Amino acid sequence: MNAARSGYRVFSANSTAACTELAKRITERLGAELGKSVVYQETNGETRVEIKESVRGQDVFIIQTIPRDVNTAVMELLIMAYALKTSCAKNITGVIPYFPYSKQSKMRKRGSIVCKLLASMLAKAGLTHIITMDLHQKEIQGFFSFPVDNLRASPFLLQYIQEEIPDYRNAVIVAKSPDAAKRAQSYAERLRLGLAVIHGEAQCTEQDMDDGRHSPPTVKNTTLPTGLELPLMMAKEKPPITVVGDVGGRIAIIVDDIIDDVESFVAAAEILKERGAYKIYVMATHGLLSADAPRLIEESSVDEVVVTNTVPHEVQKLQCPKIKTVDISLILSEAIRRIHNGESMAYLFRNITMDD
């Protein structure tokens, strides 16, 4: 299929070769070629984008994977979207498998909801649609003024469990904190496996962070109107570390959406080993694997870390052979094809529930 004759183009907004691998896989599945463009950084650090072919009246898809330099990748995407807009592209769809700043989607004390800011910037730049995968919070879709298709990687990870983990029927799905229990429950129900949840002092969740409701700060000697006494909120106190569920003599599969700093996963693996699990897998959609993550994984009780290629991590794989990759280019290419042809996206969400 010739994309140009079919009325659409596919571009990669990345300036680094490692980040264009997913875009190449997607275009190969579509039988198309990557659009001709140049993305590079000036000597003063500014990003420059040049579109080298006509896109007038075309449906354009920008594939942008997010490397470690998040802010540069965001600027590349914004500038390319604006360049295509001013070149009279008909529709501009951003294919952003891992949506950056998705963890900053709630108010934190005197901070800001950066994810909402980014959504507004993308709309202003010219995007009319976004395809992404496993948003950190599904409510992020409400930040956008245009359609967002939040695809799921779980079918690919479930397939990996069934095909690549020997004796997976003797496994138990583990949530490393109560926050991850819904995701773990979804996996457990689909695989007909047991569920375990780690709870206690070792866990630190987003809900424990200040969310602005303690502002303004307490002022000493504050006087209240006569007869008014506000009830005092009791301080939180986490119980000792507990594993709810039986993992003794079984394979433990920890599931989450993002693996970035791996300390919490390593700690969970140690606890599961102490409770009798004989093999430990960690599975997630987005493998950011920042800082010393490869070394910590290699030295830990984790036997294998399985992530998708929404984020490039070839360097980390060279540092740690325990890291495995699942390709999700199939579902992204099918989403592009369906959106361009005006077909329903329902097939890509079959058997997906609100809790998935």
pLDDT tens for each residue of 297-316: 999 999 999 999 999 999 99
pTM confidence score: 0.88
Q: Is the model's pLDDT at 209 over the cut of 60?
A: no
Look at residue 224 in the predicted model and tell me its pLDDT: 61
- Pairing type for strands 304-308 and 242-244 reads unpaired
DSSP-derived pairing of the beta strands 194-199 and 171-175: parallel
Condensed to tens digits (0 to 9), the pLDDT of residues 132-145 reads 999 999 999 999 99
| Rounded mean pLDDT, 262-276 | 94
CA angle 288, 106, 241 (to 5 degrees): 65
d(CA 327, CA 150): 17
Q: Measured at the alpha carbon of residue 186, what is the angle toward residues 146 and 167, in degrees to the nearest 5?
A: 135
Which residue, among 342, 354, 333, 347, has the nearest Cα to 1 in the 3D structure? Answer: 333
Q: Looking at the predicted structure, is the pLDDT value of residue 290 above 60?
A: yes
pLDDT tens digits along 11-39: 999 878 878 999 999 999 999 999 999 99
d(CA 143, CA 266): 33
Q: What is the pairing mode between strands 304-308 and 323-326?
A: parallel
Residue 199 token pair:
């709870």
pLDDT at 240: 77
Residue 80 has pLDDT above 70, yes or no: yes
pLDDT of residue 353: 77
Q: Which of 183, 175, 223 is CA-nearest to residue 203?
A: 175
* Model confidence band, residue 285 (pLDDT cutoffs 50, 70, 90): very high
Q: Assess whether pLDDT exceeds 70 at residue 208.
A: no
Higher pLDDT, residue 88 or 2: 88
Which amino acid, residue 155? P
For residue range 318-352, list pLDDT tens digits in order. Answer: 999 999 999 999 999 999 999 999 999 999 998 88
* 3-state SS assignment for residue 149: strand
List, for residues 249-266, the tens digit of each pLDDT value.
999 999 999 999 899 999
